[in-house]
């Protein structure tokens, strides 16, 4: 029987690649994001290319009421979620605290921490009732180390690491597995968002070395969610071969 996986932030990058890969690997999908046109295009592609069922939910994860409303709008046969992939997230800006923008900090904290918590609260309650499930939090190398000017983004990913560990302890007795997937640099829309649409600045991030691609992370997530019931991948760090730690790159 196909399991149902909910992926937050599936309109681009890692979330989209994961949706496409899981659709080919015996999963049904609930995908979320703010860009409805992208969600519709993904649904069309998945329905055309795979036997997976797909349901789209268009909401802003920072809004708790909108999150509750979206999930309660799922039809009865979509209410059971076997796997939650908390992927929606972003970095906004890159600067010291002295000249950082409070609006950027709030966007990151509201999305990467509070948004993740809102959706996890609702879905984990369903998993407790169902007697099991699996939550996969997309963290980062930035959840393990702090790099120059990355202060608040790194803090949000350190929070994801702490929340992951807390969930794992609290959900142990309910049979809910909890994993963290921590990528290094992945060439997605991440840097374009961080630099507010500045293509040159975004492109420079991945210049001169081979970064990870979204599909590489999707393959890692597929591995994590297809282990047998008695095996949990607690935490997996996946890096480009050209990157060591968060700051060292083998740029040509
Ligand atoms: P993308 O910018 O390509 O994708 C981000 C996704 O998050 C989009 O689908 C976006 O959808 C969604 N999202 C952002 N804000 C919101 C919101 N308020 N409500 C709903 N959805 C939202 O970046 P990535 O694929 O790279 O990022 C995915 C995750 O991976 C993030 O958590 C990021 O921190 C993490 N990560 C990324 C790395 C990288 O180098 N790229 C490395 C390590 C971790 P929409 O805009 O349509 O709402
Ligand atoms: C994204 C990777 O190193 O730019 O989490 O923070 S990094």
Give the model confidence (pLDDT) of 159-175 as tens digits: 999 999 999 999 999 99
Question: Which of 132, 129, 123, 136 has the alpha carbon at shortest distance from 164?
Answer: 136
Give the nearest ligand 2 atom to 154 CA: 6
- Tell me the pTM: 0.99
Average pLDDT over residues 7-27: 98
Contact 46, 17 (CB under 8 A): no
CA quadruple 36, 107, 17, 74: dihedral sign: negative
d(CA 27, CA 50): 10
Output the average pLDDT for the chain: 98
Starting from the CA of residue 190, give the closest ligand. Answer: 1
* Beta bridge pairs of residue 185: none
pLDDT of 178: 99
Specify the ligand 1 atom closest to the Cα of 188: 3
Cβ atoms of residues 30 and 84 within 8 Å: no
Catalytic residues: 153
CA of 150 to the centre of ligand 2 (A): 8
**The domain containing residue 197 runs over which residues?**
3-249
Q: Under 8 Å CB-to-CB from 111, ≥6 apart: which residues?
A: 61, 62, 88, 89, 90
In angstroms, the CA 1 to CA 126 distance is: 19
Ligand that lies nearest to the alpha carbon of residue 142, given by its number in the listed order: 2
pLDDT, residue 1, reads: 87
CA distance 161 to 167: 10
Q: What percent of the chain has pLDDT over 70?
A: 100
Mean predicted confidence (pLDDT) in 11-22: 98
| Bridge pairing between strands 83-86 and 133-138 | parallel
The domain tally of the chain equals 1
CATH code of residue 81: 3.40.50.720
Q: What residues are in contact with ligand 1 under a 6 Å CB criterion? A: 9-15, 33-35, 38, 60-62, 87-90, 111, 115, 138, 140, 183, 185-186, 188-190, 193, 214
Residues forming a β-bridge with 236: 181
């Amino acid at each position: 029987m196909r399991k149902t996986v909910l992926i937050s932030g599936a309109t681009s990058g890692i979330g989209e690649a994961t949706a496409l890969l899981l659709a080919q690997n015996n999963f049904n999908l609930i995908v979320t994001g703010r860009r409805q046109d992208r969600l519709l295009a993904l649904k069309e592609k998945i329905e055309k290319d795979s036997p997976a069922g797909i349901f789209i939910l268009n909401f802003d994860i920072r809004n708790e009421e909108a999150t509750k409303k979206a999930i309660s709008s799922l039809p009865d046969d979509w209410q059971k979620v076997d796997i939650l992939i908390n992927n929606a997230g972003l970095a906004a800006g890159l600067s010291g605290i002295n000249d950082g923008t409070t609006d950027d900090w709030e966007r990151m904290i509201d999305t990467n921490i509070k948004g993740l918590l809102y959706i996890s609260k609702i879905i984990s309650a369903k998993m407790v009732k169902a007697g099991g499930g699996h939550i996969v939090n997309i963290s980062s190398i930035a959840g393990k180390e702090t790099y120059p000017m990355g202060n608040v983004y790194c803090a949000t990913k350190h929070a994801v690491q702490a929340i992951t560990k807390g969930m794992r302890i609290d959900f142990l007795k309910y049979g809910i597995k909890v994993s963290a997937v921590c990528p290094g640099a992945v060439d997605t829309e991440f840097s374009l968002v961080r630099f507010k649409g500045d293509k040159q600045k975004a492109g420079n991030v991945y210049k001169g070395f081979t970064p990870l691609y979204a599909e590489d992370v999707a393959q890692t997530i597929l591995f994590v969610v297809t282990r047998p019931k008695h095996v949990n991948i607690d935490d997996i760090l996946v890096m480009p071969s050209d990157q060591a730690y968060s700051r060292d790159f083998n740029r040509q």
